[in-house]
Amino acid sequence: MLALRLIVWVAMALGRPAARLLLYPICLYYLAFSLQVRSASRQYLGKVLGRAPRLADSFRHYHSFASVLLDRTFLLNGQMSRFDVRAHGVEIIEEMVSGGNGCVLLGAHLGSFEITRCEGRTRGYKVSMLMYEDNARKVGAVLRAINPALQTEIIALGRLEAMLKVEAALARGEVVGMLADRTLNDADTIRCPFLGQAARFPTGPFRIAIMLDRPMALLFGVYRGGNRYDIHVERFAEPGEVRGGSRAEATERLLRRYAERLEHYCRLAPYNWFNFYDFWR
């Protein structure tokens, strides 16, 4: 918490241009000493770029991640006006929530999900994040350090009241988001092709999305450098598409479709995917 408060103070006191200058020595430090992370970054970049990554590629990957994290400080403080945001397909979400039943957004550790939540607030709808309890606790600590009021937008899985909170949010016409590209173990996963090699994706987010019986959309907030972001929204599935048949078959079908679209956006913005571990192990 002390480190988080220090980062927030530096960002708020020095401003974004000065704080961004600090990212260069920070990224160089991690590039030199985080050997496992660098190895994972190189493995991913080799697949997505289709060539052996250079040191400059790894640095750019680190710097994109650090830039998105820094920008999150300003976004959580309500400083959306600092950023040049171009939204593509956001009207899909507005259409889905117009009936008052809410919708489910599936994202990834690609670019900034925070920019999409802020864009939602400016357009008049609220996005709550559904995440595992451990992650929710960590994110809650970040939010307390930056903007305590936003902690209420996190719903922790693993508690008895979690799904009741989700249903209540959807009934109010709100949006529930999940990041679907990271798993805690191999027990509930499906292997499918991703960037030329089979990888395990978690089934949990898709089983929850099917159970909620609401329209689903994909959402990616791609970082374009400087202060620029592109938000991409796509229709993903309608409730009727997954009713009536086998839930296991519907889960696998949605998961494979998700992996295909995630690969598309990884190739579109290769330095934006931030899973710094051996994803294909």
Give residue 167's domain range.
2-272
pLDDT in tens, 3-29: 667 777 888 888 899 889 989 998 999
Query: Which pTM was predicted?
Result: 0.92
* Structural domain count of the chain: 1
- Inside any domain, residue 281: no
- Inside any domain, residue 183: yes
- Inside any domain, residue 277: no
Separation of alpha carbons 271 and 223, rounded Å: 9
Low-confidence ranges of the chain (pLDDT < 50): none
pLDDT at site 117? 87
CA–CA distance from 199 to each of 131, 132, 191, 216 (Å)?
A: 21, 21, 5, 23
pLDDT at site 279? 94
- 204-205-209 Cα angle (round to 5): 115
**Residue carrying the six token digits 């260069």:** 24
Which H or E run contains 250?
A: helix 247-268
pLDDT in tens, 139-181: 667 767 777 776 668 888 877 888 999 999 999 999 999 999 9
Separation of alpha carbons 182 and 275, rounded Å: 8
- Inside any domain, residue 97: yes
Amino acid identity of residue 213, one-letter, is: D
- Inside any domain, residue 220: yes
CA–CA distance from 216 to each of 58, 120, 247 (Å)?
A: 34, 16, 16
- Inside any domain, residue 278: no
- Inside any domain, residue 88: yes
From the number of C-beta atoms within 10 Å of its C-beta (0-12, 13-18, 19+), residue 68 rates as: buried
- Inside any domain, residue 167: yes
